[in-house]
Structure 1
Amino acid sequence: MSDADLVYQRTFRAPRELVWHCLTDPAEPARFWGPHGMITPPDGIVVELWPGGRFETLMIGAHGSHRMVAVFTEVVAPERLAWFEPASGMRTTSTLDDLGADGTSVVIRQQHVPEAMRTPESRAGFLTSLDKLEKHLAHLVQGDR
């Protein structure tokens, strides 16, 4: 692993299929995608869930907007999802491990991360997106009860 690589790990108390659904259904990322203080409108999300398909998100906040444009390189439901961002050269791979009654472990590996996205502030912002996903999943799981 180089200085330009980052790894995030989080265990969600939700079934792997539900976590996969939230990461891949175009309606779901609007509920959690992006750091705290930013929104991702549903009409700003494109998910063409196959290798070679587009993955785009538009995050909007008080200080402007950011569009992420990527191409899926690997889609193995519900285990692994990977994409490449041509503009930055960054590659992201998310691996979902089924922990049974303990939920789902998600490991996100980012390679060739641009320097601006490696700052402590940017990394903390990324973690708030995972916090938002965790709250969204908890709400969905609670709704099943």
Structure 2
Amino acid sequence: MLVNLGAFGWRRFAMTHDGGLRLHLQRVLRAPRSVVFRALTEPQELAKWWGPDGFTIPSVESDLRPGGRYRIAMQPPEGDLFYLAGEFVEADPPERLSYTFRWEEPDPEDRETVVTLSLRDIGGTRAELVISQGDFATEARQALHVAGTAGSLSSALIEHMSPTEPSATGDSGSSASDRGTSDRQKSGGCRAGGSPLNEASADSGC
């Protein structure tokens, strides 16, 4: 199953050959992988860009080690605060990170998934980011996570790491405090899964 992610700078996601529903996104970012890894893992950095447009992140708790836990509080523009939580499975800075992912309280169609982030250095100034997540219970949940992950990483993270850099859709970047009016809100944001920057490539399988 393929989805057009061109507006976000990603190409596709797909069902794995064994029938499991997974997300797989690949992208080259114009920043060293150490910088990208910090943006993806340090609580004070995550709080500046994580989530759909218009959301704020009141708190990020993180014990970055295998077996350590994390919990992210997410406040939508309207509605109640909710939480994303999980446990780190693997942490190898700045190359690789793996963690479980679950919502509190989950949607009836949600189930705990595993996210794996891999970063490959390219010449010391760029990094290739590969994101994999799954297995999802339904295609609808897979599509929701794909849109949320691709949108968040293509807009808020890019703006956070390079405020003057154009976004994946060609619009001018804005500061993290101005995220409520960016392209992801216009296109209908959703909960992000899951990371300046803007050279896209892709494969199958968040």
Give TM-score, length-normalised by structure 1: 0.83
Following TM superposition, by how much is the alpha carbon of 1:20 offset from its aligned partner in structure 2, in angstroms? 0.9
Deviation at 1:73, TM superposition (A): 0.2
1:130 maps to what in 2?
153
In the TM superposition, residue 36 of structure 1 has moved relative to its aligned partner by: 2.1
Task: Give the structure with the larger helix fraction.
Answer: 1
The yes-or-no answer on 1:25 pairing with 2:49 is no
Count of residues in correspondence between the two structures:
138
1:13 pairs with 30, 36, 40, which one?
A: 30
Unpaired runs of at least 5, structure 1:
none
Give the whole-Å Cα distance in 2 for the aligned partners of 1:21 and 1:71.
18
Matches within 5 A, 1:35-74: 35-41=52-58, 44-64=59-79, 65-74=81-90
1:84 corresponds, among 100, 118, 126, to 100
Residues 34-65 of structure 1, C-alpha deviations (whole Å, 9 max, x = no match): 12232222xx2111010000121122113434
Deviation at 1:66, TM superposition (A): 3.2
TM-superposed deviation, 1:106: 0.7
Larger C-alpha radius of gyration, 1 or 2? 2
SS in 2 for 1:93: strand
Matched-pair contact (CA < 8 Å) for 1:7–1:108: yes
Alpha-carbon separation, structure 2, partners of 1:37 and 1:59:
10
Contact 2:60 2:72 in 1 (8 A): yes
Whether the 8 Å CA contact 1:14–1:138 is kept in 2: the answer is no
SS for the counterpart of 1:20 is helix
Aligned counterparts of 1:83 and 1:67: Cα–Cα separation in 2: 15
> Any conservation in 2 of the 1:31–1:136 contact (CA below 8 Å)?
yes
Whether contact under 8 Å (2:49, 2:157) holds in the other structure is yes
Q: Distance in 1 between matches of 2:150 and 2:56?
A: 15
Task: State the secondary structure of the residue aligned to 1:118.
Answer: helix
Amino acid at match of 1:128: G
Matched residues in 1 for 2:159 and 2:41: separation? 17
> What whole-Å deviation, never above 9, does each CA across 1:89-133 have from its counterpart, x for those lacking one?
2000000111125511111100113435323x5432322210211
Give the RMSD, CA atoms, in angstroms.
2.3
One-letter code aligned to 1:76: D
Which structure features the higher share of strand residues?
1
Relative to 1, partners in 2 of residues 1:11 and 1:39: Cα closer, same or farther, differing over 3 Å?
A: farther
For 2:56 and 2:32, the matched residues in 1 are separated by 25
Q: How does 1:101-116 map to 2 (within 5 A)?
A: 101=124, 103-115=126-138, 116=140
Partner SS, residue 35 of structure 1: coil
